[in-house]
Chain A
Amino acid sequence: MNCTRVIILTFVAAVLLGTAGAVFAAEENRGFDIAARSDRTDLGFGDSEVELQMVLRNAAGQESTRALRIATLEKADESVGDKSLVVFDTPRDIEGTALLSHARILDPDDQWLYLPALKRVKRISSSNKSGPFVGSEFAFEDFTALELNKFDYTYVGEVACGDLTCDVLERTPRYENSGYTKQVTWVDQAVYQIRKVEFYDRRGDLLKVLELNDYRDYNGFWRAHKLSMSNVQTNKQTDLIYGDYSFNNGLAENDFVKGRLSRLR
Chain B
Amino acid sequence: MKRFLSVILVVAFVAALAGAPARGGEVDVSGSVELQARAFWHDPQWAGQDNRALQGSVASITEFRWRNEDGNQRVSLLPYVRWDAGDDERSLSDLREAYWAYEGDDFELLLGANTVFWGVTESVHLVDIINQTDFAGDIDGEDKLGQPMVSVSLQRDWGEISAFVMPYFRERTFAGVDGRFRPPVTVHTDNALYESSREEKHVDVALRYSHYIGDVDIGVSAFSGTSREPRFVPAADGQSLLPVYDQVDQLGVDLQYTREAWLWKLEAIARDGNSESFAAAVGGVEYTLYQVGDASADVGLLLEYQYDGRNEFEPVTINDNDVFVAARLALNDTQDTAVLAGFSYDTDTGETFVNIEAERRFGEDWFAELRLRAFSGAKQGDTTWWLQKDDYVQLSVSRYF
Is B336 in the interface zone, CB < 8 Å from A?
Answer: yes
Question: Measured between alpha carbons, how far is A93 from B74 in the docked complex, in Å?
Answer: 22
Quick one: CB contact mask for B257-275 with A, threshold 8 Å, 1 for yes? Answer: 0111111000000000000
> Interface segment, A72-80, A117-125, A158-166, A213-221?
A117-125
Is B383 in the interface zone, CB < 8 Å from A?
Answer: no
Quick one: CB contact mask for A123-145 with B, threshold 8 Å, 1 for yes? Answer: 11101101110110000000000
Is B4 in the interface zone, CB < 8 Å from A?
Answer: no
Determine the chain B residues whose CB is within 8 A of the CB of A95 once the complex forms.
30, 400
Contact B332 A132 (CB under 8 A): yes
Determine the chain B residues whose CB is within 8 A of the CB of A127 once the complex forms.
260-261, 290
A263 touching B116 in the complex, CB below 8 Å, given contacts A123-B217, A131-B332: no
A94 touching B336 in the complex, CB below 8 Å, given contacts A64-B364, A265-B65: yes
Determine the chain B residues whose CB is within 8 A of the CB of A89 once the complex forms.
21
Determine the chain B residues whose CB is within 8 A of the CB of A65 once the complex forms.
364
Contact B336 A128 (CB under 8 A): no
Determine the chain B residues whose CB is within 8 A of the CB of A93 once the complex forms.
32, 361, 367, 398, 400
Contact A90 B155 (CB under 8 A): no
A118 touching B103 in the complex, CB below 8 Å, given contacts A124-B258, A131-B298, A132-B296: no
Is B365 in the interface zone, CB < 8 Å from A?
Answer: yes
Determine the chain B residues whose CB is within 8 A of the CB of A119 once the complex forms.
115-117
Is A91 in the interface zone, CB < 8 Å from B?
Answer: yes
Contact A123 B291 (CB under 8 A): no
Determine the chain A residues whose CB is within 8 A of the CB of B335 once the complex forms.
135
Quick one: CB contact mask for A15-42 with B, threshold 8 Å, 1 for yes? Answer: 0000000000000000000000000000
Contact A125 B398 (CB under 8 A): no
Quick one: CB contact mask for B137-149 with A, threshold 8 Å, 1 for yes? Answer: 0000010000000
A92 touching B291 in the complex, CB below 8 Å, given contacts A118-B117, A135-B334, A257-B155: no
Is A4 in the interface zone, CB < 8 Å from B?
Answer: no
Determine the chain A residues whose CB is within 8 A of the CB of B116 once the complex forms.
119, 262
Contact B334 A131 (CB under 8 A): no
Quick one: CB contact mask for A217-254 with B, threshold 8 Å, 1 for yes? Answer: 00000000000000000000000000000000000101
Is B105 in the interface zone, CB < 8 Å from A?
Answer: yes
Contact A123 B155 (CB under 8 A): no
A258 touching B398 in the complex, CB below 8 Å, given contacts A64-B334, A123-B256: no
Is B388 in the interface zone, CB < 8 Å from A?
Answer: no
Question: Which residues A96-113 have CB closer than 8 A to chain B?
Answer: 108, 110
Is B106 in the interface zone, CB < 8 Å from A?
Answer: yes
Most buried by B among A90, A135, A263: A135
Quick one: CB contact mask for B46-65 with A, threshold 8 Å, 1 for yes? Answer: 00000000000000000001
Secondary structure class of chain A's binding surface, majority of residues: mixed
Determine the chain A residues whose CB is within 8 A of the CB of B263 once the complex forms.
123-125
Determine the chain A residues whose CB is within 8 A of the CB of B74 once the complex forms.
263, 265
Is B41 in the interface zone, CB < 8 Å from A?
Answer: no
Question: Measured between alpha carbons, how far is A64 from B365 in the docked complex, in Å?
Answer: 11
Question: Measured between alpha carbons, how far is A119 from B143 in the docked complex, in Å?
Answer: 11
Determine the chain B residues whose CB is within 8 A of the CB of A44 once the complex forms.
none
Determine the chain A residues whose CB is within 8 A of the CB of B76 once the complex forms.
265
Contact A130 B291 (CB under 8 A): yes
Quick one: CB contact mask for B332-371 with A, threshold 8 Å, 1 for yes? Answer: 1111100000000000000000000000010011010000
Minimum distance in angstroms from A49 CB to a CB of chain B: 11
Contact B155 A259 (CB under 8 A): yes
A125 touching B260 in the complex, CB below 8 Å, given contacts A119-B115, A130-B290: yes
Determine the chain B residues whose CB is within 8 A of the CB of A179 once the complex forms.
291
The one of A91, A120, A132, A257 in contact with B361, judged by C-beta atoms closer than 8 angstroms, is A91
Is A181 in the interface zone, CB < 8 Å from B?
Answer: no
The one of A94, A122, A128, A254 in contact with B290, judged by C-beta atoms closer than 8 angstroms, is A128
Q: List 20 A-B contacts (CB under 8 A).
A: A58-B334, A89-B21, A92-B365, A118-B117, A119-B116, A120-B119, A122-B120, A123-B256, A125-B263, A125-B288, A127-B261, A128-B298, A131-B298, A134-B332, A179-B291, A254-B155, A257-B155, A259-B162, A259-B210, A265-B65
Interface residues of B (CB under 8 A from A): 21, 28, 30, 32, 65, 74, 76, 101, 103, 105-106, 108, 115-117, 119-120, 142, 153, 155, 160, 162, 210, 212, 217, 256, 258-263, 288, 290-291, 296, 298, 332-336, 361, 364-365, 367, 398, 400-401
User: Given A125-B259, A262-B116, 8 other A-B contacts at CB below 8 A?
Assistant: A90-B364, A123-B217, A125-B261, A125-B263, A131-B332, A132-B332, A135-B334, A259-B155
